[in-house]
Structure 1
């Protein structure tokens, strides 16, 4: 492998390593947000469960159920952020190609 291609691979591996750090930070932040939203959802669910049957079937109950559903949607979206692909395989492969 010539020096030009090796330098390109080295630069791209460094970019991937920097991107991995950013993604790891993003995952951690998403996890923190997720935990707080789960606590809010659980509190809202408990409040709904403690409502009388007439309040559950009325506007307060419907609003609570809508909030719970929306919180679940947000939590599921955060799960997708936490599941972002790991960059380790790509970084290792570029390192092997650069050195091999």
Structure 2
């Protein structure tokens, strides 16, 4: 592989590393919001917990957990793609 293509791959790897870091940062922000919502749900009076407010909190928590899972996948896939580019540039 020539120097120009290696430089291009190096730039792509840098962007992939940035993507992985950003996905991790966003996941952590969502995790904090999820933890707050879970605490809200846990401290809810039973009459609310068994009603619409409890159900809404449960749905929000589940949706945030799903978003966190997707972001974790993105982080892993970006890292894996960068590793493949290491092999390509070798």
TM-score, structure 2 length as denominator?
Answer: 0.85
**Structure 2: runs of 5 or more not aligned:** none
Size of the alignment, in residue pairs?
Answer: 88
Asked if 1:52 corresponds to 2:45, the answer is: yes
**Any residues of structure 2 matched to 1:36-47 within 5 Å, and which?**
36-47=29-40
1:94 positional shift: 3.1
Structure 1 residue runs without a partner (length 5+)? 1-5, 96-100
CA-based RMSD: 1.7
Structure possessing the higher radius of gyration over alpha carbons:
1
* 1:65 matched residue in structure 2: 58
State the TM-score, normalized to the length of structure 1: 0.77
Q: How many Å apart are 1:92 and its aligned residue?
A: 5.0
Partner of 1:11: 4
